Structure 1
């Protein structure tokens, strides 16, 4: 199976991630269609998110319907600074709790 994966470097304080993540969990209970793996870490310039999705369309839908509106509500007057997104090919994926091994 082919997956869609990316790393996103966001030039914003890690607290922005924390608030966004908390609201996403509140709205979805952690069940986002198509999301297989989501990790975040603080970086020197903000935070970095690594995600693996079933496909690009699921990722784009979640950004459009969930992440975008939550971020817009958090800071409606803040200037938008685009994150750096790097897509990559998944060469191996093991998620034992999810029954995934490729």
Structure 2
């Protein structure tokens, strides 16, 4: 970052008192003033924007509803036995992947 650049534009943000304290503490730990710390953090942090996850979440909800219906039928004796471990594992992997994709942009 050039040392002699002229900073003549103001940027105002709102934070909670706790957020302010945490930001000031991190700036101090980095041995930077607040402006340099925030500019460096903002310009050097890569943000990942997850594509719209709504269709995938809707489908995940439908699958979950189907699993609940199957579980109900098993509990009332409509099915004698069936191993759903593979279905449950696939559902779990799908959920974990959606969480990973959706949360990627917030991990700084």
TM-score w.r.t. length of structure 2? 0.27
Structure having the higher Rg: 2
- Higher relative CO (CA 8 A, sep ≥ 6), structure 1 or 2? 1
Which structure is higher in strand share?
1
TM-score w.r.t. length of structure 1? 0.28
